[in-house]
A and B are shown apart, each in its own frame.
Chain A
C-alpha cells in the first residue's frame, strides 16, 4: 500500500506536461553543403531527440510544449541552438548548417623552422624516446638534435650549431624559462654535453629560425624543453655505467610526484684502459644532485619545481704549436646550480595563465698555465604569460619578462676584476588567426630593453601556413631577431649593442602514417656582429661592425613504416655562410659551418634477441681554417669529418636494460682545424698542430635497473 502510494506520487510529480505531441523534422548540412549525419538533435533539458541520418535528415516526436530550445550538436562542431514554440502537429525546421570547430587535429600547423618532439602531437619530427636511442648522441639531447636538419656537428665543441650561427646563438629554455650555462664548462677543444638529462622532458620544441615572439636573445635558434608532468608511479632507478653510476628515486601519488636523483661520473678508470690522444692529468669528473617535483592543483592547475646542483673538473696538458714539451697545463673547476618553479593553469573561459621564475648560477675556476681566473655568471628570469583563445579561430599569447644578470671575471693572483650588471625587460604578443582550416596567419612583436646597452628595440615576427594537399603543408616564416653579445665580450666593452639577424624561411612538410618528408630553404642576414683586434684569447677594441649572411636548404626524410621493426631518418643540410666577425676582417665561412652535412640514423628492433640495434652515420665536407702560411683568411679546409656510431640495447626483462654504444667505430681520424704558432719560425714558417678528437673511439656500457612494484617499469628513458 505504502509502496503504491509512493509510486503514484512519483508518477504524478514527474509528469509535468500533458500528452500533446509535436513532430519535428529538418535537415542539417556541413559547410560544404553536404548532408551531415550523426548530429544530435534534441530539446534542451529533455531526452526527446534523435540523430540525423545519412542524408542529414532528422525527425522526432516530443511531448514538450511551449517555448523550448532546440539544440543541434555534434562533437567537433559548433553547437547551434534555437528557441521555438511547440504546438501539437508536424513542424518542419528550415535546413541548417553546422560549422566544424577548429582544433589542433583538423587545422594546419606552422612548420617553418620548427621541429617538435612529443608523444602525443601529430606534427612531430622525433619522439622523446628517439633522443635517448640515437647511437651518436650518447644520451645527450644535443647529440640527438645534431642529426636533425639545419644543424652541423662540431666534434671538438659538442654544442648545437644552427645554420651558420655559432653556439651562443641558440637560446635554451626549460618550461619557457631561460637556462644560462646549460652546457658543462670545458677546456678548449674538449667537447661538452648538455647538463640536463633527457629523462626530465616529455617533449621539446626546436626551432632553426623564424621562431615565436615568445623567445628572444638568440640570433639563430630556440630550443624549448618541457618537463614531465606528475609521474605515474613510485620507483627507484639504478644506473651503472662504465664511466659512472647514479640512483634516482621517485615517489608518486595521484596528485603529486617528487624525484630525487644523484649521479657521479669519472672518466679516469676508462682512460686508464683506453688509449687517449689528449694528455690528461685528471680525467673529467663530476657529481650532480637533482630534484624534480610536480603537483596537480585544484581545478586543473599545475605547479612544478626543478632544481639541480653539480660540480666537476678536469686537468690536462694542451700542446702548443712550435713549442717543445707538454705545452700548457689547464685546470678547470666548475660549480653550477639551476632552480626554477612554474605554475600553469587553464581556465574554462579560454584563458591559460603561466608564471615562472628561474635562476642559473655558474662559477668556473680556471688555471691556465700560471694564470688563475675566477668567472661567475648569475641569471634570474621572471616570466608571466597568458594565452587567450578568443574563438576557435583566433588566439593570442602575450607576456612580460625580466632578466637580472650579473657577470664577473677575476684574475685571482693579481686581484684584478671586471664585472657588469644588466637588467633586461621584454614584452611580447603574438596572434594566431585561422582564416580557414587550411590557412593560418601568425603575427607577433617582441619589444626589449637593455639597461646596460641603454637601448630599446622591437622585433616583428610573422609566419603563415597553408595546407596544399591532404598531407602536405607549405609554410613561410620571417622576422627580426636581436641578441646581446656574449658575456666575455660585454665585460670588456659594456657599451656593445645587440647583434641583429633577419630570417626568411620557406618550408614544405609532408606527413603520412609513418613517413615524414621535410624540405626547407632559408636566408638569414647578420648585422652588427662583434669584431675585434687581436685573437679570441685577448680581444681588443670590440665593436658592432661585423655582418654576414647564411643561406641554404635542408631535407629530412623519415620512414618508420616500410621496413618491419625498423625506423630510419636521413638528413642533408646545405649551408652557405659568410660573415665578418670576431677577428675576421673579411667575410669568411665560419669554422663551425661546414657546407655539406649528411646524417643517417637507423634503429632496428630484433624481437628474438629482445634488442634494439642502432646505427648513426654523419659526414660533412670539412671545416675551414686559416693557414697563416698562405694569404687570406679561412683559406684552407680540413678533410671531411665522418663518424659511424653503433649501439645495442638488450632488454632481458622489462625492468632491466643493458646498453652498449661505440662512437666512431671505424676510427676515422677526424680533424676540426689547426692551431698555429703565433710567430713564424726562422724559416718564416708557422708551425701547426691539428685539433683532434680526445680519443679515436668512445665506448660506453651501462646497466639500468628499475625497482618498482610494477615489474614492467623500465628505464628506457635513461639510456
Chain B
C-alpha cells in the first residue's frame, strides 16, 4: 500500500511538473525581456544576451531564449561598434540552434532572414545579388507559417524598401507591407499581458517604413 502511494505521488509529481509552466523559467525570461528594453550600452547588451544564453543552457527545450540572444546579437551591429560579420555569424549559429528546437517556426524563420539582411547591409553591392533572394525567401516562408506575424511582414517591408532604393523605384510596395504589419502589431498588442514572453519588437521600424508614403 505504502509503495502504491509513493508510486502514485511520484507519478503525480511527474505529471504536474510536466503540466505546469516552469515559473523559474518564466520569471527569468520576464526579467531579461524587461532588461532588454532598457539596453543602452554594449556591456548591457552583452549581459542580457548572456542571461538568455544561460536560460537556454538550463532549458535546452526552449527556443525563445536562443531567439532573443540571436536578436540581441543582430541588433548590436546597428547600435554598437562591434565586429559586425562576427556578431552576425554568431547570431546565425544561435538561430540554427533554435531552428533545431522549433522547426518551421515563423519567428525563428523571420529572424534568420533578419540576420541574412544584416549580412547584406554590410556589403550590399556584392552580397545583395546572391543573398537578397535568400532573405526574401525566408521572410516569405515566415509569413506563410504565421500570417499574423507582424515582424515577418515588417522585415519584408524593410527589404523591399532597400531593394526599391537600389533600383531607384518608389517605396509604395514597401509601405503597403509596412501598413499591413502595423495592423498586425495592433492585433498583437491586444494579446500582450503581463506574462507574455513571445517577441513583440519591430513596431517603430514598421512605422518608419510606412511613413515614407504620405
Contact = CB atoms under 8 A, between A and B. Distances in A.
Interface in B129-175: 129-134, 136-137, 141, 160, 163, 167-169
A400 interface: no
A564 B20 CA distance: 60
Interface string B61-105: 000000000000000000000010110011001000000000000
A14 B43 contact: no
Contact of B54 (A6, A40, A129, A567): A40
A233 B141 CA distance: 11
Contact of A45 (B20, B43, B57, B160): B57
B54 A654 contact: no
A54 interface: yes
A388 interface: no
Interface in A552-576: 560, 567
A47 B55 contact: yes
B54 A49 contact: yes
Interface string A14-51: 10000000000000000000000111101011111111
A171 B133 CA distance: 33
B205 interface: no
A44 B57 contact: yes
Given A40-B50, A129-B126, A233-B133, A54 B20 contact: no
B24 interface: yes
Output the residue of A49, A128, A232 with the most chain B CB within 10 A.
A232
Interface residues of A, number: 51
Nearest to B131: A119
Q: Is the interface of A mostly helix, strand, loop or mixed?
A: loop
A51 B50 contact: yes
Interface in B1-38: 12-13, 16-17, 19-20, 22-25, 28
B190 interface: no
A76 interface: yes
Contacts of A653: 167
A38 B168 CA distance: 42
Contact of B20 (A6, A42, A50): A6
A651 B55 contact: no
A13 interface: yes
Given A45-B57, A75-B90, A607 B50 contact: no
Interface string A38-79: 111010111111110110000000000000000101011000
B132 A9 contact: no
Grouping DSSP codes into helix (H, G, I), strand (E, B) and loop, the B interface class, with mixed when no group exceeds half, is helix
Given A38-B43, A42-B54, A105-B89, A712 B127 contact: no
A707 to B, nearest CB: 14
B89 A654 contact: no
B167 A610 contact: yes
Given A40-B50, A47-B58, A716 B167 contact: no
Contacts of B54: 40, 42, 46-49
B209 interface: no
Contacts of B141: 254
Given A6-B20, A14-B23, A51-B47, A712 B137 contact: no
Contacts of A607: 168
A13 B16 contact: yes
A717 interface: yes
A37 B43 contact: yes
Given A13-B17, A14-B17, A654-B163, A45 B46 contact: no
A285 interface: no
Contacts of B24: 14, 47
A202 B126 CA distance: 12
Contacts of A92: none
Interface string A606-635: 010010000000000000000000000000
Given A10-B20, A14-B22, A47-B58, A53 B168 contact: no
A303 to B, nearest CB: 19
A1 B28 CA distance: 27
Given A13-B17, A46-B58, A610-B168, A53 B28 contact: no
Contacts of A369: none
A71 B43 CA distance: 20
Contacts of B168: 607, 610
Contacts of B163: 654, 712
B53 interface: yes
B16 A6 contact: yes
A371 interface: no
Given A11-B23, A42-B54, A71-B57, 17 more contacts: A9-B12, A9-B13, A9-B16, A10-B23, A14-B17, A14-B23, A38-B43, A44-B57, A46-B58, A49-B51, A76-B90, A232-B133, A232-B136, A560-B125, A567-B125, A713-B133, A716-B129
Interface of A: 6-7, 9-11, 13-14, 37-40, 42, 44-51, 53-54, 71, 73, 75-76, 105-106, 119-120, 122, 127-129, 202, 231-233, 254, 560, 567, 607, 610, 651, 653-654, 710, 712-713, 716-717
Interface of B: 12-13, 16-17, 19-20, 22-25, 28, 43, 46-47, 50-51, 53-55, 57-58, 83, 85-86, 89-90, 93, 125-127, 129-134, 136-137, 141, 160, 163, 167-169
19 contacts: A10-B17, A11-B23, A37-B43, A38-B47, A38-B50, A40-B53, A42-B54, A45-B57, A47-B55, A49-B50, A119-B130, A119-B131, A128-B130, A129-B126, A254-B141, A610-B167, A610-B168, A654-B163, A654-B169
